[in-house]
Amino acid sequence: MRFPKDFLFGAASAAYQVEGAWNEDGKGVSNWDVFSKIPGKTFNGTNGDVAVDHYHRYKEDIKLMAEMGLESYRFSISWPRIIPNGDGEVNPKGIEFYNNVINECLKYGIVPFVTLYHWDLPQVLEENGGWTNKKTIDAFERYAQVCFESFGDRVKHWITFNEAVVFCSLGYLTGAHPPGIVNDVKKYFQATHNVFLAHAKVVNNYKKLKQYGEIGITHVFAPAFSVDNEPDNIFAAKHANEYNTNWYYDPVLKGEYPSYVVNQLKEKGWLPDWTEEELEILKNSADKNDFIGLNYYQPGRVMKNYEPVVECEHTREKSTGAPGNASFDGVYKTVMMEDKKYTKWGWEISPEGLLDGLRMLKERYGDVKIYITENGLGDEDPIIEGEIVDIPRIKYIEEHLKACKEAIKIGINLKGYYAWSVIDLLSWLNGYKKQYGFIYVDHNDNLNRKKKLSFHWYKHIIETRGEEL
Ligand SMILES: C[C@@]1(C(=O)O)OC[C@H]2O[C@@H](O)[C@H](O)[C@@H](O)[C@H]2O1
């Protein structure tokens, strides 16, 4: 069986991780431009000042995407490149850059799939409370409107936010992302609510423009499974799914928060400050969402946590996504398991976890359209006689595409797969060591690009629409 003709084979990037040109052509300062320069925050002090210079080399990169036969390129727009101080004048050079990127994609028939927010907030807004300040919602609405009006004639696929759970939890619980606040649970939940409200308002605004594209949100998809059939561990997995999936997906797809979490937040004094009008906005925008984007890398293997809840020391290393941490409320912990396979960064390799998780989503949210907006292998790629022989990445993506094909067979409304990442780029907390791309970037030779083995493999998969998988 071939993947359906309307299934998009894509690959992704994010502005801060690829563009560089952090202070060029009128771009404003982002929270990551500042945070990444705080000693100890990133791996070996790496930052996105240059990244892989996509800002100047986008034509070369998009030409390579076309050679790969890529059907769609998911990239993000840098808010401070469009509105340098977050809510003031529009920067014409920023508009020009993304018009050029979009037009270059269309020149090759590559569908642009655009993320409005992939973690790089204008620093001025961060300094005024960032996502805990409701004024940021208004600024985001205006920024989104500028993007829709500037690019919406050619961009017909929009993602509002990438992985709210990451920038909110690492921003306000572990401190590993800006604003670097530790263990402020009230601010964490407030930030998530403000993001969902911003999403709902922008969805409503987009629909009013009648540009006849589609809009959705991208969440981390890490379904939690109990390590065994012990009742305490099964409860722990339920708790994890309520806080990490239902809390994020329900307000978008159901238009209301999961009562299991709301009741506990009420008891603990962590309930966000919200109004009935805001809850009504969530309710009324839910059915306007056209899709949900899933960034799937691994499931969570969960058991009840019996250690006392202490304000654990948060470090960069403990925030890079590997199992072994207790939940913020101490109820459960994620663990590694003897019979599972893991990447060099301790992430489980589990295509079956994707399929089981997709079944869970269908059960709770019905036939919602789904894109896998990220999936890929972070690795240190082997180089043999000058060739990047990234066979582990080929195997990883092959297994996950097979799971996608099986999902479609059992009736999951899955419409696309975007590998993370199209090109080697900056990992927020792992520098340039953790490679994800089909295209290698030589940091020892002028950031020159080179096709990896996986580039040629993915090209073949796209040409044959995955028939042999
Ligand atoms: C933490 C990490 C990583 O570096 O491995 O996870 C995978 C991937 O997720 C994306 O949403 C981030 O933008 C990208 O940088 C990557 O970030």
Q: Domain for residue 97, yes or no? A: yes
Tell which one of 219, 374, 425 to mutate to probe ligand 1, the residue whose CB is within 8 A of the most ligand atoms.
374
Place of tokens 């409107």: 145
Give the CA count within 13 Å in the CB-facing half-sphere of 73.
32
- Give the pLDDT of residue 130: 98
Please, what is the angle between helix 92-107 and helix 54-68, to 10°? Answer: 20
Q: Domain for residue 220, yes or no? A: yes
Distance 51 CA to ligand 1 centre (A): 14
The length of the chain is 469
Q: How many domains does the chain have?
A: 1
CB 130 within 8 A of CB 36: no
- Give the pLDDT of residue 312: 60
* CATH for 49: 3.20.20.80
Cβ atoms within 10 Å, residue 290: 15
Q: Show the domain range for 29.
A: 8-463
- Ligand 1 contacts CB of residue 427 (under 6 A): yes
Is pLDDT above 90 for 251? yes
Q: What is the mean pLDDT of residues 153-162?
A: 99
Determine which one of 374, 380, 385, 468 is catalytic: 374
- Give the pLDDT of residue 311: 62
- Ligand 1 contacts CB of residue 396 (under 6 A): no
Q: What is the mean pLDDT of residues 352-362?
A: 98
Q: Domain for residue 150, yes or no? A: yes
Instruction: Say which residues have a Cβ less than 8 Å from residue 250's Cβ, sequence separation at least 6.
Output: 256, 257, 258
Listing DSSP states for 99-142 in one string gives HHHHHHHHHTTPEEEEEEESS--BHHHHHTTGGGSTHHHHHHHH
Token reading at 460: 């073949």
Question: pLDDT per residue over 204-246, tens digit each?
Answer: 999 999 999 999 999 999 999 999 999 999 999 999 999 999 9
Q: What is the mean pLDDT of residues 295-314?
A: 87
Residue 313 pLDDT grade (very low, low, confident, very high; cuts 50, 70, 90): low
- Ligand 1 contacts CB of residue 295 (under 6 A): yes
Mean pLDDT of the chain: 97
- Ligand 1 contacts CB of residue 428 (under 6 A): yes
Q: For this structure, is 374 an active site residue?
A: yes
Residue 317 pLDDT grade (very low, low, confident, very high; cuts 50, 70, 90): confident
Residue 310 pLDDT grade (very low, low, confident, very high; cuts 50, 70, 90): low
Question: pLDDT per residue over 90-107, tens digit each?
Answer: 999 999 999 999 999 999
- Give the pLDDT of residue 319: 75
Q: What is the mean pLDDT of residues 434-454?
A: 98
Q: Domain for residue 426, yes or no? A: yes
Tell which one of 221, 371, 427 to mutate to probe ligand 1, the residue whose CB is within 8 A of the most ligand atoms.
427
From the alpha carbon of 220, which atom of ligand 1 is closest? 11
